[in-house]
């Protein structure tokens, strides 16, 4: 097992390098780089995409940025100065290896436009993303796994039928649409003013007691977490149910029942271990998606300033240091979580031997 872990750790860097190479190369062909963003703002267009929407522009940028923005009235020396400020005066290959050399040391530099350290910027957004991600995953697993087991045990019963109808209907509703519905119903829309509309805590949070702070925190995240979790229930519940149904029909379950073991002992002592493997397999993707990419619309609707919203803003604004830092960290964490998922396989079922499979 130690050899397998070492191999996986050694594979992390080339995998991470491949992801960064592909994304860095794609960015070189996208219009509207940092220089064009500055020029668009100076021309009062907000960002470079405003000039695209405007229709008629006179693009006179030279070099790598030809055709990407309207530089009429700006001397070439000014454009060259902007490129040097952003480090775009160097060849792409040199910029990439310089960036990766810094990233290996976890030196992500400073944001182009926010004038803040990238790590500080990311850490500022982490409380929102951790709150949404942690509670969404926890709630989804705590509800879906017991419900999936119950549905498998009572397969074909009225309970199985009406719960399937509910979770499929919930899955059909997009998370952002469900979030809007929750706001209309419970956040002062057209019905009740029960939950707050925005933020992670109240303005007077510092003055509250410890219990008051905890209650205030859960009061604020109740609607966002519900909106994020509702669609995830269906996939995880049905996956758990189908995994259990597949295992329940196997010979070892029949043998265990013939030995006189209780149904609970059969389910949780034998079936659970094998059935959970497929559920564990989907955890790394769910983890990274919820924490880094899956919250943009929910964060926007509930005015929460998290990583999903930050990544969208820096991608649109071409703030490359922040954008690539989030991509680097999310990929690295995803690879580590995938390795932890493999180790969890062994904890759930010690019969699994990755070294033999690799051999």
pLDDT tens for 241-292 read 888 888 887 888 888 888 888 878 888 777 877 777 777 766 666 666 666 6
Please check whether residues 313 and 184 belong to one and the same domain: yes
Residues 6+ apart with CB under 8 A from 111: 117, 118, 121, 314, 319, 321, 322
Q: What is the signed CA dihedral for 10, 11, 12, 14, rounded to 10 degrees?
A: 110
**Looking at the domain assignment, is residue 26 inside a domain?**
no
**pLDDT tens-digit profile of 72-88?**
556 777 777 777 877 78
Please check whether residues 144 and 278 belong to one and the same domain: yes
Please check whether residues 71 and 197 belong to one and the same domain: no
Please check whether residues 160 and 309 belong to one and the same domain: yes
State yes or no: pLDDT of 344 exceeds 50.
Answer: yes
Report how far residue 290's alpha carbon sits from residue 343's, in angstroms, rounded to the nearest whole number: 21
**Looking at the domain assignment, is residue 98 inside a domain?**
yes
Please check whether residues 45 and 183 belong to one and the same domain: no
Tally of structural domains, the chain? 2
Given this model, what pLDDT does residue 22 score?
93
Please check whether residues 55 and 193 belong to one and the same domain: no
Closest among 336, 349, 219, 340 to 275, alpha carbons compared? 349
Mean pLDDT of the region 297-324: 85
Please check whether residues 92 and 139 belong to one and the same domain: no
pTM equals: 0.74
**pLDDT tens-digit profile of 14-72?**
999 999 999 999 888 877 777 777 777 776 655 444 443 344 434 333 334 433 445 55
Please check whether residues 87 and 171 belong to one and the same domain: no
**Looking at the domain assignment, is residue 178 inside a domain?**
yes
Please check whether residues 183 and 283 belong to one and the same domain: yes
State the number of CA atoms in the 13 A half-sphere of 202 facing the CB.
16
**Looking at the domain assignment, is residue 267 inside a domain?**
yes
Please check whether residues 134 and 83 belong to one and the same domain: no
Please check whether residues 93 and 129 belong to one and the same domain: no
Q: What is the CATH number of the domain that holds 171?
A: 1.10.3720.10
Please check whether residues 88 and 234 belong to one and the same domain: no
Locate 252 and state its tokens. 């070892």
Residue 175 to residues 18, 71, 201, 217, 227, Cα–Cα distance (Å): 32, 42, 22, 21, 5
Residue 118 to residues 71, 264, 299, 355, Cα–Cα distance (Å): 29, 51, 20, 39
Which range of residues forms the domain containing residue 83? 31-103
């Amino acid at each position: 097992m130690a050899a397998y872990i070492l191999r996986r750790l050694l594979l992390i860097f080339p995998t991470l390098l491949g992801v960064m190479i592909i994304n860095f190369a794609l960015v070189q062909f996208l219009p509207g780089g940092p220089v064009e963003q500055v020029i668009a703002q100076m021309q009062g267009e907000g960002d470079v995409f405003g000039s695209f929407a405007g229709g008629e522009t006179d693009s006179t940028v030279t070099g790598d940025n030809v055709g990407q923005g309207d530089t009429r009235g700006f001397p070439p020396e000014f454009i060259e100065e902007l490129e040097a400020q952003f480090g775009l005066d160097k060849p792409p290959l040199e910029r990439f290896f310089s960036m990766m050399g810094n990233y290996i040391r976890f030196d992500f530099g400073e944001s182009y436009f926010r004038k803040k350290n990238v790590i500080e910027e990311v850490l500022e957004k982490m409380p929102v993303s951790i709150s949404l991600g942690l509670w969404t995953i926890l709630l989804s697993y705590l509800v879906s796994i017991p419900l999936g087991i119950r549905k498998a045990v009572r397969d074909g019963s009225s309970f199985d039928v009406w719960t399937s109808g509910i979770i499929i209907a919930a899955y059909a509703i997009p998370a952002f649409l469900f979030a809007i519905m929750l706001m209309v119903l419970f956040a002062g829309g057209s019905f009740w003013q029960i939950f707050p509309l925005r933020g992670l805590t109240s303005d007077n949070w510092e003055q509250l007691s410890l219990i008051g702070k905890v209650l205030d925190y859960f009061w604020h995240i109740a609607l966002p977490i519900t909106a994020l979790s509702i669609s995830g229930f269906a996939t995880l519940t049905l996956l758990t149910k189908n995994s259990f149904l597949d295992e329940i029909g196997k010979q070892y379950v029949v043998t265990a029942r013939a030995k006189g073991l209780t149904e609970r002992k059969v389910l949780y002592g034998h079936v659970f271990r094998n059935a959970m493997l497929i559920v564990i397999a989907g955890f790394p993707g769910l983890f990274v998606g919820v924490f880094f990419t899956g919250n943009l619309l929910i964060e926007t609707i509930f005015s929460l300033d998290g990583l999903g919203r930050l990544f969208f803003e820096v991608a649109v604004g071409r703030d490359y240091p922040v954008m690539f830092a989030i991509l680097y960290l999310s990929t690295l964490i995803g690879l580590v979580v995938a390795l932890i998922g493999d180790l969890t396989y062994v904890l759930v079922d010690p019969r699994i031997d990755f070294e033999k499979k690799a051999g």
